[in-house]
Structure 1
Amino acid sequence: MLAVFRSNPHTVSFSACFTQTYFFLALASIESFILLLMAYDRYVAICHPLHYPARMTISYVSLSVGLSILLIPLFLILLSYVKILLSVLRISSSAGRAKAVSTCSSHLLVISVFFLTTAGVFISYRIPGTSVDSRVMGSVIQNVFPALMNPIIYCLRTKEIRDSLAKTLNKSSIFPGSK
């Protein structure tokens, strides 16, 4: 940013703007959660001083921060889908409603898998006897499943892309079909 101000150009490249915006928003989000955690720390220290050592353990702090990071986006996602549902209910044709539900269903599946496994992994640290293997499996599902589903959700649902993929696979030696 300082280099841009110093050289006084009239434009900023897209990559520089994107990088600056990313770091600004990411660091502001982190700062917000740090301030939230500090406020909770002060609340417990002042309002419940005898419970402070029990409430402010590393397992409780990480659970609180982790669930906060999950719950805020989840709340906004649910709010947007409530609005979508209200709009879908206003569609008069059943074909239009079916298309709208079909468009959202795969995304809702990915959201559900991601948030449920993530919450499960966070909560499993508070449950004694939970195996490390189950936590690792949950973490793998939470990180890999949405990334694997994105091409299906956003690409293969488009007829032109499906046709192009089928044409490419038919030409290849992997899936030879009728040419």
Structure 2
Amino acid sequence: MSSLNASFSQNVSIVHPKYFFIVGLSGIPYSSYYYIFLFMIYFITVIGNSIVLLIIAFERSLHSPKYIGVFNLALADIGETNALIPNMMNNFLFDSQYISFNACLANMFFVFLFSSMQSVTLVVLAYDRFIAICLPLRYHALVNNTSMVLVFSAVWAFNFSIVALMVSLITRLSFCESNVIQSYFCDHGPVFRLACNDNSINKIIAFLVSALYLVAPLIIIFLSYMGIFLALIKITTWQGRLKALRTCFSHLFLVGIYFLPICCSYIAAILVSLTPNARVISTSLAYAVPPMLNPIIYVLKTAEIKDIIQKMLKNKSAIHHNND
């Protein structure tokens, strides 16, 4: 009976605010120009990734393991952008900085879910390139449409569970002092640091999530490309090496534009005492810009998609000419 009373009193002591106030962008000078820039990023990201999704979905020649990964990446890009930027635009257009407690948790969940999918998808694409170059004779046995669909289904389920656990642990915290979030969205770190009860579990899971979706993917991708470069050395001709390496260019660009800005923003925050405005701008750009650049890189650097778009434009031009 005493344990029940202790449990009851512990539950009673948990205080959840009705609203949080997101003030990360409110102190930025000339913030209206930054919001316009974010809107342009949002527009380009949604249009570009939607085009990639439609091309891959309706072009049967692209129904291959590699493009299942590209499709998944474009889907994650659209999801993360829609979880981030519309809320930021709502703050600007309607001067509405508050967000309900449950909406805050939902915002946190979707941002981290789609961001984690971007990270892991780049790992899967690195695995695809590793098998294609290092084990070409076994590629179709190890990597096929069925296996890729199963891998991404497992990845979605795993990431969903991890992020759901991370967000659900916020509900055990009590917010009895401040409800002002010093960020541009309901970020996990700034939220759990507001708690006035023990948040050590949240700190541990924040560390584990960072290691799981930032450090581990970088290590795996680095090791994959070490294997690829060792395999390229065994190719006797420079033409053969370049042909094999050219298939990796798009993926290397994607890895660079995703991980470098995030890593640089975190390193700068540790080594240099960034002002709150500088930290918010650097991290928001690190998360907003890569989803915009991903479809541009795949259109410009991938011959198959470029050829399909050129054929579509030629067919449209021919139809228009015949109608005239």
Which residue does the alignment assign to 2:161?
27
1:114: how far off? 2.0
Larger CA deviation: 74-83 vs 149-158: 149-158
Which residue does the alignment assign to 1:175?
none
Which residue does the alignment assign to 1:105?
249
Quick one: structure 1 residues 24 and 130, their matched pair in 2 at CA, closer, same or farther if it must change by over 3 Å? closer
User: What is the identity percentage for the equivalent residue pairs of Structure 1 and Structure 2?
Assistant: 32
RMSD between aligned residues: 4.0
| 1:52-98 per-position Cα deviation (integer Å, ceiling 9, x unaligned) | xxxx8x99995675356411111111011111111111111211111
Which residue does the alignment assign to 2:234?
90
CA distance in structure 2 between the partners assigned to 1:128 and 1:156 by the alignment: 36
CA distance in structure 1 between the partners assigned to 2:263 and 2:204 by the alignment: 14
Note if contact 1:156-1:162 (Cα within 8 Å) is conserved in structure 2. Answer: yes
Quick one: structure 1 residues 65 and 126, their matched pair in 2 at CA, closer, same or farther if it must change by over 3 Å? farther
Note if contact 2:253-2:297 (Cα within 8 Å) is conserved in structure 1. Answer: no
- Is 1:117 aligned with 2:261? yes
TM-score by length of 2: 0.32
CA distance in structure 2 between the partners assigned to 1:104 and 1:123 by the alignment: 27
SS at match of 1:92: coil
Quick one: structure 1 residues 28 and 144, their matched pair in 2 at CA, closer, same or farther if it must change by over 3 Å? closer
1:169: how far off? 3.8
Quick one: structure 1 residues 159 and 129, their matched pair in 2 at CA, closer, same or farther if it must change by over 3 Å? closer
1:8-157 → structure 2 map (5 Å cutoff): 22-24=156-158, 26-27=160-161, 66-67=210-211, 69-127=213-271, 129-157=273-301
Structure 1 unaligned segments of length 5 or more: list them. Answer: 1-14, 32-55, 173-179
Number of positions where the alignment pairs a residue of Structure 1 with one of Structure 2: 133
1:160: how far off? 4.6
Match of 1:163 among 298, 307, 320: 307
With a CA cutoff of 8 Å and minimum separation of 6, indicate the structure with the bigger relative contact order.
2
Which residue does the alignment assign to 1:41?
none
Quick one: structure 1 residues 163 and 126, their matched pair in 2 at CA, closer, same or farther if it must change by over 3 Å? closer
Quick one: structure 1 residues 86 and 142, their matched pair in 2 at CA, closer, same or farther if it must change by over 3 Å? same
Quick one: structure 1 residues 128 and 145, their matched pair in 2 at CA, closer, same or farther if it must change by over 3 Å? closer
Which residue does the alignment assign to 1:34?
none
CA distance in structure 1 between the partners assigned to 2:280 and 2:215 by the alignment: 22
Note if contact 1:91-1:97 (Cα within 8 Å) is conserved in structure 2. Answer: yes
CA distance in structure 2 between the partners assigned to 1:59 and 1:130 by the alignment: 21
Note if contact 1:88-1:97 (Cα within 8 Å) is conserved in structure 2. Answer: yes
Quick one: structure 1 residues 164 and 68, their matched pair in 2 at CA, closer, same or farther if it must change by over 3 Å? closer
CA distance in structure 2 between the partners assigned to 1:113 and 1:157 by the alignment: 14
